[in-house]
């Protein structure tokens, strides 16, 4: 069963303006992935960084919805030296600080996939020497259907 980690923008995507086709399609893909998690076809990882970023959300209703997603996770990654070291290395390669921490959490949790809607992060992450597939949710669904 594949272990996946969601970047914070995955959790926020269903609350974005759905009038844009790409956003709507990504939202549909995310709901499909969440259903696979509920059906125990995929394993979701959570982290202290998701909790932190969610705590910054100014919309209480959205914040509470995202908090409920934590119950789907089988493991929550906590900060430690390995996370900080990996995050610093990712930052040195041009990854933004928060994204670096998310990636380090995914690495610590032995995620096979890191899902994000951030195209720049996906492009920049190709320079990283890690064994995690960093991918958009639409592409993830396509990959799953092929395999």
Q: What is the DSSP string of 17-55?
A: -TTSHHHHHHHHHHHHHHHHHHTTSEEEEEEHHHHHHHH
Residue count of the chain: 147
Q: Collapse the DSSP code of 112 into the 3-class scheme (helix H, G, I; strand E, B; otherwise coil) and give the result.
A: coil
The list of the chain residues with pLDDT below 50 reads none
CATH of the domain at 81: 3.40.50.1010
Supply the pLDDT for residue 54: 97
Token pair 């969610």 is at which residue?
A: 54
| Element housing 5 (H / E) | strand 2-6
Domains identified in the chain, total number: 1
Enumerate residues 6+ apart whose C-beta is below 8 A from 22. none
Q: What is the pLDDT of residue 144?
A: 85
For residue 132, give its domain range. Answer: 2-146
């Amino acid at each position: 069963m594949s272990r996946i980690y969601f970047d914070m923008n995955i959790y926020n995507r269903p609350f974005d303006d759905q009038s844009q086709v790409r956003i709507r399609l990504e939202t549909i893909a995310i709901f499909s992935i969440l259903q696979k998690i509920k059906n125990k076809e995929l394993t979701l990882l959570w982290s202290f960084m998701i909790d932190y970023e969610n705590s910054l959300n100014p919309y209480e209703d959205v914040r509470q919805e995202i908090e409920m997603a934590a119950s789907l996770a089988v493991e929550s990654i906590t900060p430690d030296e390995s996370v900080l070291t990996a995050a610093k290395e990712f930052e040195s390669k041009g990854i933004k600080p928060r994204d670096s921490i998310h990636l380090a959490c995914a690495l610590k949790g032995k995620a096979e996939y890191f899902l994000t809607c951030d195209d720049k992060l996906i492009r920049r992450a190709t320079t990283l020497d890690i064994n995690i597939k960093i991918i958009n949710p639409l592409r993830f669904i396509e990959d799953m259907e092929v395999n």
